[in-house]
Structure 1
Amino acid sequence: MASETHKACYGEMFPDPLHRENDRRLKGKVFGYLLSTGGGFIRNDRNVTADIAEWDDCRQCPEFVHCYQLCIGKLALQGAIIDE
């Protein structure tokens, strides 16, 4: 089976939720999040962002559909194992 060459951002729309850090914005190509503690140990806020310019860039890419499918697959697996 031949290997395709993909753009460097392929499969990277979302940040990795398995290696989350409090009080630090984590960002994928399009989506990001911030888990705030206010300086303590208890999480007191969550914020999710989407970079619309990057989303528009992704939507114009000929690999968008299968890249998005890969991103969602990775996110589903990460969600399944996040508390293991």
Structure 2
Amino acid sequence: MAFRNILDGAASFGAAFVTSAICGLPAWFTVAAVRSEIAPVWAYAAAAGLAVIGVILTVAFIRKGSAGVAPTRQRRR
């Protein structure tokens, strides 16, 4: 039973890593595009929104991982 919780926690940590990559990389490149004047200034708002959502989801998955909860569940199995 405890091994399943370890695997569920590892899956949640993996989901946190993937979420930070999926949300962080486009936000970073959007900021880089605005700084190099390829994208308009209002794109900062889109980058900030994506970054905030990514941080919220990443923190949620890290909390689940430290508790040993699978990414798609709310409680331990």
TM-score, with length taken from structure 1: 0.31
Q: Which has the higher contact order (CA 8 A, sep 6+)?
A: 2
**Structure with greater strand percent:** 1
Normalised by the length of structure 2, the TM-score is 0.33
Higher helix share: 2
